[in-house]
Amino acid sequence: MPRLKKQNIIKRPRKRAIPLQTVKGMRDILPTEQFIWEHILNKSKKLCDDFGFRKIDIPILEYSELFKRGVGQTTDIVEKEMFSFETRGGDKVSLRPEGTAGIARAYIQNGMSRWTQPVKLYQEGSMFRYENPQEGRYREFHHFGFEIFGDGCPAIDAQVIYLAWKIFQKIGVKNLAIQINSIGCSECRPNYKNLLTDYYEMKINKLCVDCRKRLTKNPLRLLDCKEDKCMQVASSAPQIIDHLCGDCHDHFKNTLEFLDELELPYVLNSNLVRGLDYYTRTVFEIWSSDSDSLGRQSSLGGGGRYDDLIGVLGGGDVPAVGFAFGVERVVKKLLSGKISLDKKNTKQVFLVQLGDTAKKKALKLFDKLIDSKVSVGESLGRGSIKSQLKIANRFSSKFALIIGQKEALDGTVIIRDMESGIQEVITMDKVVGEVKRRLKK
């Protein structure tokens, strides 16, 4: 019996299953939630326009060195939270963890110092931080923020605070309060840091692990720790407000006087320092007093003055101040407060058709209505007139335009008043004008 030749069996690699879920820390923003995002962003943009700000878009990707120098080497963002990598060309880059450093870079690179000062800019977009995801916080999140470059007047601080306040007010957030502090400047802050370090060194056994590390790198951040035992220690720490130089003292005093004139309620918070190294003098946050659903993270957004940032990046002496808020946090706040917003997807007119010939006529009519700025809905895939009229009701349409087989051949359309049920037949060439007349009426 002849021996059988051994056949070569080709093993094909198994295809890996596509993970049908978002990457950890990322999320989808579904159509059911888009209405509240549009509400927040539209109100914010409108107010920025009213205050004379102009929109700027900056890249999501920047050189890592920008954030190391601008935000600070010892900040949590730079040390632990940046999405950084090396490109094929060997460049070290990072996804932006915040927006101010990138806008400052754009100010320098594009010669905005030659523009009429102050330069007022606002931006919106995704930011990225590699931190442990938790309720209301994601690794990709969205900021809305605004900046003023080229004016060191305390009135500008007050204007930025007032605009931030006004945005939340217009959005519909209740029970707002301003938390404010001054963290001094390069003249008076070093002496205060020495005092703070001496104080905390005597309490080092009562500090959390992170604060023990911060003590030698960035002692100001100890005041901002949210651990219970660290908060107790911070409550008796020396207050920077008592150690400001003359210029910083006067600047802060004048800022508060402007806020008094605007009748804005504020609280002096000596432990408010913000988490970025570029801040100088005025720092502030907007809080909502009933933010229990957000736990201790009761701040909705924050900002302050950063007069040294442009200089640190090589752009000269340019005072600046800004503010930003996380959109996700404000969305959560509004939803928890059951704010009443018009979230219906309404259509003024709904096209109803029956048969292929009617579909063709409906498509052409749809195009004419859109060009005439009439809000129109359709359901071309459905054959039943009854089912299409139900959809028209869900869209709260005032009129249905019905094209059956007879109407398609005759070149006519049935206009149906969805409230009264009264119907009228008119010719196809007059339907757009008639619809606009009735909607106006």
Sequence spans of domains, the chain: 31-188+244-336, 349-440
- Which residue numbers in the chain have pLDDT < 70? 1-13, 135-136, 290-297, 337-345, 382-383
Residue 108: C-alpha distances to residues 139, 150, 160, 314 (Å): 29, 12, 21, 8
User: What is the per-residue pLDDT for 299?
Assistant: 85
Please tell me the predicted confidence (pLDDT) of residue 292.
47
pLDDT of residue 180: 96
Residue 291's pLDDT is 43
User: Encoding tokens for residue 73?
Assistant: 């080497």
Residue 119 and residue 93 in contact, taking contact as beta carbons nearer than 8 Å: no
pTM: 0.82
Secondary structure (DSSP) of 280-339: EEEEEEEEETT-GGGTT--EEEEEEE-TTHHHHTTS-S--EEEEEEEHHHHHHHHHHTT-
Task: Tell me which CATH homologous superfamily contains domain 349-440.
Answer: Anticodon-binding domain (3.40.50.800)
Which of 410, 207, 188, 224 minimizes the C-alpha distance to 302?
Answer: 224
Q: According to the model, what pLDDT value does residue 104 have?
A: 96
For residues 107 and 103, give the distance between their C-alpha atoms in angstroms, rounded to a whole number. 6
CA 440, chain centre distance (Å) = 36
- The confidence score (pLDDT) of residue 22 equals 85
Spatial CA neighbour of 184 closest among 304, 11, 24? 304
Interatomic CA distance for residues 166 and 168, integer angstroms: 6
Q: Buried (b) or exposed (e) across 340-365, using 16+ Cβ within 10 A?
A: eeeeeeebbbbbbbbbeebbebbeeb
Per DSSP (E only), the strands in 184-276 are: 266-268
Instruction: Look at residue 9 in the predicted model and tell me its pLDDT.
Output: 61
Q: Which residues pair with 140 in a beta bridge?
A: 128
- Is CATH 3.30.930.10 the classification given to domain 31-188+244-336? yes
Q: How many Å apart are CA 44 and CA 21, to the nearest integer? A: 32
pLDDT at 297: 47
3-state secondary structure of 149: strand
Q: What is the pLDDT of residue 151?
A: 95
Beta strands in 119-253 (DSSP E): 119-128, 140-149, 176-182
Please report the DSSP string for 380-429 in residue order: TT---HHHHHHHHHHTT-SEEEEE-HHHHHHTEEEEEETTT--EEEEEGG
Task: For helices 327-336 and 31-50, give the axis angle rounded to 10 degrees.
Answer: 110
pLDDT at residue 290, as a whole number:
60
- Are 373 and 347 in contact by the 8 Å Cβ rule? The answer is no
> According to the 3-state scheme, what is the secondary structure of 91-135?
CEEEECCCCHHHHHHHHHHCCHHHCCCCEEEEEEEEEECCCCCEC
Identify the pLDDT of residue 199.
85
How many alpha carbons fall within 13 Å on the CB side of residue 338? 0
Tokens for 81, please give them.
Answer: 């939270």
Q: Which among 193, 213, 215 is positioned nearest to 202, based on CA atoms? A: 215
What is the per-residue pLDDT for 91?
A: 93
pLDDT in tens, 366-399: 889 988 988 888 888 766 888 888 888 888 899 9
Check residue 344 and give its pLDDT. Answer: 59
pLDDT at 135: 67
3-state secondary structure of 378: strand
End-to-end CA separation in angstroms for the chain: 97
Give residue 7's pLDDT.
57
Q: Residue 217 is inside which H or E element, if any?
A: helix 209-217
Taking the C-alpha atoms of residue 334 and residue 166, their distance in angstroms, rounded to an integer, is 16
Let me know if the fold of 31-188+244-336 is the same as that of 349-440: no
